[in-house]
Structure 1
Amino acid sequence: MKYNNIKEAVFLERPNRFIAHVMLDGHREICHVKNTGRCRELLTPGASVFIEECSNPARKTKYDLIGVKKGRLLINMDSQVPNKAVEEWLLKKELFLDLTLVRPETKYGSSRFDFYIEAGGRRIFMEVKGVTLEEEGVARFPDAPTLRGIKHIHELMEAIKEGYEAYVLFVIQMKGVSSFEPNYRTHPEFGEALKQAAEAGVHILAYDCIVTEDSIEIDRQVRVEKC
């Protein structure tokens, strides 16, 4: 997954979920933040951020904020990119060698899962979660309570009862973490739901990514703990 026209800037402030102010080449600019999560540990005054210049003249903002440096880590914080990166990765047959079909955004019950997959006669639903929260080398999700996430997990458990396989894939949008675990401190109910799902046969996977200023690519599996 590649971006175009990337520039490095300095983060100043985030007046609301959708907008950030940055300093670029000595000028104050307004950016659209492509992540509505809290990201408080990432967007700190003075942090180096990466913004993509957009070519659409009708847009209210000229730039999208897509990445940030946090110490030694380069973190992609674009919440729209994990699905794109996963689709590229699936089509390379990295997870399912006998892959025959990948269909994004497929409705099941009252949910719409990120992917419906067919591989060797197996019917599979997959839900993708992007992870940007890192604490002392451990990646955690979510960074804010997510009732929608719990709903999707329960629907995956129902799909298993009807003969489907089910996966939750956590895309860690950085390189350099040692493990992944649910964020019980922020949303214990999500952690418990994930644990129940694992016991019911839902596959819980986490993969890190190779991240550069202008690209992101799924890389290696990361150990999942506490679920």
Structure 2
Amino acid sequence: MQFTSPLLRGTLIRRYKRFFADILLDSGEHITAHCPNTGAMTGCAEPGFITYVSPANNPKRKLKFTWELVFTPQQHWIGINTQHANTLASEAIKQGIHPLFEHLQAVRREVKAPDGQSRFDFCLTQQDNSLCYLEVKSVTLANGKQGYFPDAVTTRGTKHVQGLAELARTGVDTCLFFCVQHSAIEQVSVAHHIDPAYALAVEDAVAAGVKVLAVSCKMSEEKITINQLLPVIL
């Protein structure tokens, strides 16, 4: 995934009200950027962190910049924009990074489940016309080399996992895909200590047959690309 415009470098002053980040650009300009991440962003939004923002293409948009990346004092890249996770997952699918993604007939995005109630990020059509529903989550919470999801209680995320489990019980292939946007992370676990209900839902989903994958990314101020599969420790 190539950034469509050159990113501007700056220093984070503060992140507040979930969607706002005050940043001092290297040019000396003070800006307020849109923060496209609703999570707690633990360890990702410390004042003084080097940040990268993209200019908005829409001149009518109130906030003229979007916060994209952080580069930490430990020299780790973190992808702030969770909206990129689906784009990166799409690239991983196209690359066939896992056997589940090989020999596909079609890939659809934002597809309703057979019950008409749930909606998942992807629906993959296999060569035998069987379907696989896939839900993507962005992972940025790190403790050393260990990554965790979620970084805050997520009722919505729990419902997604429960929906995958319900489909799996009917014999439909399903997958929970962790897109890791933190260069320090080498393995991923569910954050039992943050959201026990989500952790329980994942355990139930795995027992029902839901596959769980984690994929790391390489990041720079020019692009984010898929790197490799990571171990998932449940």
Q: Which of 114, 121, 130 is 1:114 aligned to? A: 121
Q: What is the 5 A alignment of 1:167-206?
A: 167-206=175-214
Q: Which of 155, 160, 165 is 1:152 aligned to? A: 160
Structure 1 residue 145 displacement after superposition: 0.4
Structure 1 residue 37 displacement after superposition: 1.2
What's 2:13 paired with?
12
Structure 1 residue 14 displacement after superposition: 1.8
1:176/1:13 CA distance change after superposition, 3 Å: closer
What's 2:54 paired with?
52
Work out whether residues 164 and 210 of structure 2, in 8 Å CA contact, stay in contact via their aligned partners in 1: yes
Structure 1 residue 73 displacement after superposition: 0.8
Q: Which moved more, 1:92-101 or 1:21-30?
A: 92-101
What's 1:94 paired with?
97
**How high is the sequence identity, in percent, across the aligned residues?**
30
More strand by share: 1
Count how many residue pairs are aligned between Structure 1 and Structure 2.
226
Work out whether residues 91 and 102 of structure 1, in 8 Å CA contact, stay in contact via their aligned partners in 2: no
Take 1:214 and 1:52, find their aligned partners in 2: how far apart are those partners? 11
Structure 1 residue 175 displacement after superposition: 2.6
In structure 2, the residue corresponding to 1:144 is in which secondary structure? coil
What's 2:37 paired with?
35
Work out whether residues 131 and 141 of structure 1, in 8 Å CA contact, stay in contact via their aligned partners in 2: yes
In structure 1, the residue corresponding to 2:217 is in which secondary structure? strand
What's 2:75 paired with?
72
In structure 1, the residue corresponding to 2:138 is in which secondary structure? strand
What's 2:23 paired with?
22
Matched to 2:124, the amino acid is: I
Take 2:57 and 2:207, find their aligned partners in 1: how far apart are those partners? 47
Structure 1, gaps ≥5 residues long: none
Work out whether residues 17 and 33 of structure 1, in 8 Å CA contact, stay in contact via their aligned partners in 2: yes
Query: Given the two structures, how large is their TM-score scaled by the length of structure 1?
Result: 0.95
Structure 2, gaps ≥5 residues long: none
Take 1:19 and 1:93, find their aligned partners in 2: how far apart are those partners? 36
Matched to 2:62, the amino acid is: K
Structure 1 residue 5 displacement after superposition: 2.1
In structure 2, the residue corresponding to 1:80 is in which secondary structure? helix
Take 1:31 and 1:146, find their aligned partners in 2: how far apart are those partners? 24
Structure 1 residue 88 displacement after superposition: 2.2
What RMSD over aligned residues (CA atoms) do the two structures have, in Å?
Answer: 1.3
Take 2:144 and 2:102, find their aligned partners in 1: how far apart are those partners? 34
Work out whether residues 10 and 24 of structure 2, in 8 Å CA contact, stay in contact via their aligned partners in 1: yes
Q: Which moved more, 1:132-141 or 1:32-41?
A: 32-41
Q: Which of 62, 71, 75 is 2:64 aligned to? A: 62
Query: Given the two structures, how large is their TM-score scaled by the length of structure 2?
Result: 0.92
Work out whether residues 93 and 99 of structure 1, in 8 Å CA contact, stay in contact via their aligned partners in 2: no
Matched to 1:117, the amino acid is: L
Matched to 1:97, the amino acid is: E
